[in-house]
Amino acid sequence: MQASKEFLHIKIAEWFSLNQRELPWRQTRNPYFIMISEFMLQQTQVSRVIPKFIDFIEKFPTLEFLSQSNASEVIRSWSGLGYNKRAINLLRSAKMIIDEFKGEFPNDIKNLCLLPGVGEYTASAIICFAFEKAVPVIDINVNRVLERLILGSDIRLPVKTQKEIALQYLNHEDPWTWNQGIMEFGALVCKNIPDCFNCVFNTVCASPLNRTKIYYEEEKITKPKLQIENKNTPFIQSDRYFRGQLIKFLSLAIEDEWISFEDAYEYIKRMDNSFDQEKLEILLDKLNFEGLIQFSDIKSEKTIKTLSFRLPK
């Protein structure tokens, strides 16, 4: 038996009211705060975001305040979250809203997607969670729940199909609770390895993973295993790791202090003695291109090895 939309809406709302995590960005409809949380939650675990979010909004309490801040302040406050380009995009987005939108926060997908670092998902999240507009907010958790519950599938569907299903089952009367609830349900119950016994939908779920519908001997069942991505390069030897370490090194420097190439190279060599200068040049060049650092002189006139650098102003 397939569940009706109304049944899903009621059950998700009931479950969410009893089981939701207390997250600070759920206590507000301020679009600026929602935007900050969505930038931080991109590729970063919720548990790591919570303290950083609280500290960040204390230091940059308004959109106007952030827009007038310099990049080095923002990057320092972002330190520890990783993917520091998000901090620069957040700052650029704040400036763009103040300068080009006259301080009025965009509340439609088209204009929100003009902001640096904002794609369709982030725009949809801001529209729903700040303005409570009836748009589907589709992340991996939402897809997983709907695909299992409605289609009985664990196979990733085409994006167009995902959108069609999410829109079909959207709760237009209370989109905020629906989107927050189904995301939370996917994160806590309908995970990669689902907790079917404690699922409020175990009598109607179409997924073959629904163990409450299957009679079996425990020892004869091959349980699904998490697929761990096989990476050739360990994280502590990856470019992302060393990029993060360089930003951390600059964050610890005195405000406006220029750091020499030699000092940076010595710092990195302590972590990996095989790290060569050419690789450091490439990393610094990329960080400068992305706006995460600035060089002391024009790069085209001098080699990177002769330049100093710091967090941007």
Supply the CATH number for residue 263's domain.
1.10.10.10
Summarised one tens digit per residue, pLDDT across range 180-216 is 999 999 999 999 888 888 899 988 888 876 655 443 3
* Domain termination residue (choose one: 101, 131, 161): 131
- What is the per-residue pLDDT for 300? 63
Question: In which domain, by residue range, is 284 found?
Answer: 235-310
To the nearest whole number, what is the mean pLDDT of the chain? 87
H or E element, residue 141: helix 140-146
Instruction: Kindly state the tokens that stand for 15.
Output: 């479950």
Q: Which residue shows structure tokens 């939908």? A: 201
**Whether residue 263 sits in one domain with residue 209:** no
* Domain termination residue (choose one: 228, 261, 277): 228
Active-site choice (14, 38, 100, 255): 38
- What is the per-residue pLDDT for 228? 42
- What is the per-residue pLDDT for 221? 40
Instruction: Kindly state the tokens that stand for 145.
Output: 């729940």
Which amino acid type is present at position 186? G
Whether 217 is a known active-site residue: answer no
- What is the per-residue pLDDT for 301? 61
Instruction: Kindly state the tokens that stand for 312.
Output: 């941007």
Q: Which residues of the chain have pLDDT under 50?
A: 213-230
Summarised one tens digit per residue, pLDDT across range 40-87 is 999 899 999 999 999 999 999 999 999 999 999 999 999 889 888 999
**Whether residue 113 sits in one domain with residue 152:** no
